[in-house]
Chain A
Amino acid sequence: MSKETVIQLKDISFSYYTENADGTLNTDTDVTMKHSEKRFALDGVTLDIERGSFVAVVGSNGSGKSTLAKHLNALLLPTSGEVLVCGMSTADPDNTWEIRRRCGMVFQNPDNQLVSSVVEDDVAFGPENLGVEPSEIRSRVDNALNAVGMYEFRKKGPHLLSGGQKQRIAIAGVLAMQPECIVFDEPTAMLDPSGRAGILKIIRGLHEQGKTVILITHFMEEAAQAERIIVMDQGKPILDETPAKLFAHAEQLSALNLQMPFGASMAAKLSARGVDLPEGIITSERLAECLCG
């Protein structure tokens, strides 16, 4: 492979439970119930993520995709195996802060990740924690807010913004730390369709600027925009393909309760009925082009 690996997962497993001396399981108090039947939320995951790539991780609830995301910047440490971010192991506490700076994370709930009651102060929170010079923070904050198109809201309070706008502020907050890699943990799950489209556009833009983007989602339409899709099930990656190839596994996806994007499923059905279509149609736009053109 010619490209450099930015994140490397080496056979990692993770359990929310710790084992007592007598062999019984000790449940951690902040475990969500969906993990209750399973011992391992992640079960032997080995992955390489290349610098500058756009990877989507999909899977049904409890498949371990969010747990996986939290391993990428040392919020969780694997029970066994090793995670390397830019060559640094997350298990070493000395690396924790550098890893979190290089690998930023945007969470699902736009309300619960903003710290300050003024937008620009919130964006400045990350760089302030890193001890960046005040004048440098100012320019980073302005750049980050411009990048997400929220500069004119810099003096507003987050409670006056819509969910999509709050999520943009959260992205700006991560950008101000100048990370190499950004993990999005279901960033659009709580947004309306227009907010969702706006966030996706920003994510695509970041990828085009050369950032490594990892998008955790359960919307296949969103995952289809990535270069590479990893399908998780029961704590294991079971498919790892480009979107065009992945959507050829229609039956396997529906067995996992994952819905194909409309364009891809329509194209598959039309092909089955004998309509002559090229392979690898994912989006509705492309389908329309092939049908009418």
Chain B
Amino acid sequence: MALKDITLGQYYPGDSAIHRLDPRTKLIGTILFLVSLFVVKNFTGFLFCAICLAILVKISGVPFRYMARGLKAVIFLIVFTALINLFMTPGTPIWQFGILKIAREGIYRACFMAIRLVMLIFGSSLLTLTTKPVALTDGMERLLSPLSKIGLPSHELAMMMTIALRFIPTLLDETDKIMKAQTARGADFESGNLRERAKGLIPLLVPLFVSAFRIAADLAMAMEARCYRGGDGRTRMNGMAFTKLDTVAAILLILYFAAVIALGRLPLF
């Protein structure tokens, strides 16, 4: 079945140093990397970020082509942002046609924005490519757990994400089953204009919602039968532990951030 072949998240299996890092280190590292992209003031800074990122990708063993796939979905956004910046930035005009004019500053800013966006995508996909969805959820739960004191339901959020991940394939199967059943009864999901097609989805969505509620009720009962009563007093089988690798990563991260700030201060292009 085609629907069964989907990969959960976009994890790229491997055993590199990056894969082995604690998910918390990777989460914080990714956030810092994304922040650093906004601290960068010049192209030399970007070049430095790009070199660091390239080294990380190389270590992770994820093929470049695999990473670039993430760009496809947002290529429109990148082009759009670049064009807006290109035409809308005021400054010394070097080309003009009617109301369209391109300024020197515009070219500079368009390139700047496009590079920033591409690096944002690469940086965050390195995290999702090298971390299992479950580890990612666990990491988030741990990182957010101090906030539970001020009322943020960190355990509940993580549990919801875990269950959502678990049930994506189940709901896809269910969708597939309902679609076949409705097709057998003459439902048409493929032809007609946009409005007709949207209307055609009703016989799919209504039973799907009903079955999602039924699954939720079943699961809730099964969880209660297995003594689930929220996050209090719960232990975890796979305790997370920072290793030497994480210490090294933390030091490198601090050095990296210092370098980015220093480069921003220098009068470089």
Contact = CB atoms under 8 A, between A and B. Distances in A.
A92 interface: no
Interface in B148-179: 162-163, 165-166, 169-170, 173
A128 B133 contact: no
B166 A158 contact: yes
B225 A105 contact: yes
Given A114-B166, A116-B166, A133-B235, A107 B221 contact: yes
A157 B226 CA distance: 20
Interface string A93-133: 00001001100110101011111111011001111111111
Interface string A170-182: 1001100100000
Given A111-B170, A114-B166, A117-B162, A124 B222 contact: no
A134 B235 contact: yes
Contact of A115 (B4, B133, B217, B219): B219
Interface string A142-176: 00000000000000011100000000001001100
Contact of A75 (B163, B224, B229): B224
Contact of B233 (A104, A131, A134): A131
A111 B219 CA distance: 9
Given A100-B224, A111-B170, A131-B235, A116 B4 contact: no
Contacts of B229: 97, 129
A196 interface: no
Interface residues of A, number: 41
A73 B226 contact: no
A66 to B, nearest CB: 11
Nearest to B217: A30
B100 interface: no
Contact of A117 (B165, B218, B219, B224): B165
A138 interface: yes
8 contacts: A100-B227, A112-B219, A116-B134, A118-B132, A121-B134, A128-B236, A129-B227, A141-B237
Interface of A: 30, 73, 75, 97, 100-101, 104-105, 107, 109, 111-118, 120-121, 124-134, 137-138, 141, 157-159, 170, 173-174, 177
Given A109-B218, A116-B162, A132-B235, 18 more contacts: A30-B217, A97-B227, A100-B225, A101-B227, A105-B222, A112-B170, A113-B222, A114-B166, A115-B219, A115-B222, A116-B134, A120-B237, A126-B227, A129-B229, A134-B236, A141-B237, A159-B173, A177-B227
